[in-house]
Amino acid sequence: MSPEYSEVLVRYGEIGIKSKQTRKRMEDLLIKHIKSAMREAGVKFSKVRKEYGRIFIVTDVTQEASDIASNIFGVVSVSPVVVIESDLDTILETGVEMARGSFTKNKSFAVGSRRVGTHDYSSQDVREKLGAAILMGLPELELSVDLTSPDQSLYVEVRNQSAYLFVETIDGVGGMPTGSQGKVVCTLSSGLDSPIAAFKVMKRGCIPVFVNFDNTPYANDDCKAIVTEQAQLLANYIHNFEVKLYIVPHGEDLSEAETHGPPKMTCLFCKRNMLRMAREIAIMEDADAIVTGEIIGEQASQTTMNLRAINTAVCDFPILRPCAGDDKSDIEALAHKIGTYKFAEEGLSCCTLAPKYPVTRGKPSDVQKAEEDMNLDVLKNQVGQASIITLRTG
Ligand code: ATP
Ligand code: MG
């Protein structure tokens, strides 16, 4: 009978090098999120325990549990494991049976091993003896040993009384557990970049408050629908914290910009007003920063000079631009991975005001001067008219 997988080994890298107190706080958060995600998905487990810098999920459905755990921020990788006693005979016997069940014929293999605790054998013994036992015990598979780039591998992690055997390592999303950092206001435009910017800060442990500025009458309702879907998809990565989406009217202030400002600066006025409204929401929500999806040089409004001209609208909150140094291909690759690429395929244009010849070397003083003719009191009113959608209850 082939050995049964009964646990999922969860690795969490970076958390492990934190100070003792911080590490404990983050490990506890991670465990809490794993449990919530499993319950939400209806995947049964009997226990989630922490041991020797690893987390173990005890469950009969190790494949489903692995999929869920790998999508939780803070998880570097996961492996479904067979758990046995750590005496060498049991390791050899079980290892051969696992190889029989999972190795492909005519391919090369290697055995990897790590060991913690006191045993009457070394890691090297495990590698050598199990490698030899597999070759001897499974001649029908015609396997060969390749220690540098094997086609398939069997790993043995020995920890005191127990040994954990696995053949598969699934990459996790990485980062830090949600809630290890504070709330941040993530602006979402319905485009490709801003969901990636949000994902990147969420991955580092931030709790997002999503905000979309509704450009009506300079856009149509499809943009709001797309943003709501994007925000919901992102919110599904968050466990144990409430996630909201604010949809804020942004037509009146754009009309002020259209009426009173030079058209070449419209995008700068627009971005500055968005930051101002995001700031109001950051204060209401007790958030620490504002996040945008700008990429240096990607759009006319995203030159370094224009970014400075945009930034002077809000000086008491950091404006985080996690995509600033990315290439478009980096953004697309991540969007494919997390599932937000499909929205870009709709090719929506959510602003009809963008000028044909926008300024690329905006000066803060010029922009501020032009704004003197605009009624910026409308910004607070617009924030007051926001509709708020709860995407996740805490
Ligand atoms: P994206 O792909 O995110 O739409 P973009 O390169 O098209 O970005 P811009 O339109 O210049 O960029 O916007 C820059 C950033 O400003 C966006 O990434 C987003 O963070 C924010 N933003 C733009 N429009 C909106 C909007 N209508 N609502 C909320 N945020 C917005
Ligand atoms: Mg962009």
pLDDT digits (tens, 9 = 90+) for 294-307: 999 998 889 999 99
Residues 90 and 154 in one domain: yes
Residue pLDDT, tens place only, 342-353: 988 776 777 899
Name the nearest CA neighbour of 50 among 142, 153, 159, 146: 159
Instruction: Looking at the CA of 266, name the nearest ligand.
Output: 1
Q: Is the pLDDT of residue 323 over 70?
A: yes
Contact (CB, 8 A) for 152 and 167:
yes
Protein residue with its CA nearest to atom 31 in ligand 1: 189
Q: Domain for residue 379, yes or no?
A: yes
Q: Which amino acid is at 59?
A: T
Contact (CB, 8 A) for 303 and 297:
yes
- Alpha carbon distance 271, 274 (integer Å): 5
Residue pLDDT, tens place only, 108-159: 999 999 999 999 999 999 999 999 999 999 999 999 999 999 999 999 999 9
Closest ligand 1 atom to 302 CA: 11
Q: Is 188 in the pocket of ligand 1 (CB under 6 A)?
A: yes
Q: Is 292 helix (H, G, I), strand (E, B) or coil?
A: coil
pLDDT of residue 16: 86
Residues 275 and 386 in one domain: yes
- Alpha carbon distance 349, 352 (integer Å): 7
Q: 205 pLDDT band (50/70/90 cuts)?
A: very high
Q: Is 192 in the pocket of ligand 1 (CB under 6 A)?
A: yes
Q: What is the mean pLDDT of residues 62-83?
A: 98
Q: Is 256 in the pocket of ligand 1 (CB under 6 A)?
A: no
Contact (CB, 8 A) for 185 and 281:
yes
Q: Is 80 in the pocket of ligand 1 (CB under 6 A)?
A: no
Q: What is the mean pLDDT of residues 216-221?
A: 88
Q: Domain for residue 176, yes or no?
A: no
Cα 216 to middle of ligand 2, angstroms: 20
* Residues, beta carbon < 5 Å, ion ligand 2: 193, 295, 298
Instruction: Looking at the CA of 293, name the nearest ligand.
Output: 1
Cα 357 to middle of ligand 2, angstroms: 18
pLDDT of residue 95: 98
Domain boundary among 137, 171, 205: 171
- Alpha carbon distance 16, 24 (integer Å): 9
Residues 144 and 112 in one domain: yes
Q: Domain for residue 1, yes or no?
A: no
Number of domains in the chain: 2
Mean pLDDT, rounded, of the chain: 96
Residue pLDDT, tens place only, 257-275: 999 999 999 999 999 999 9
Q: Is 96 in the pocket of ligand 1 (CB under 6 A)?
A: no
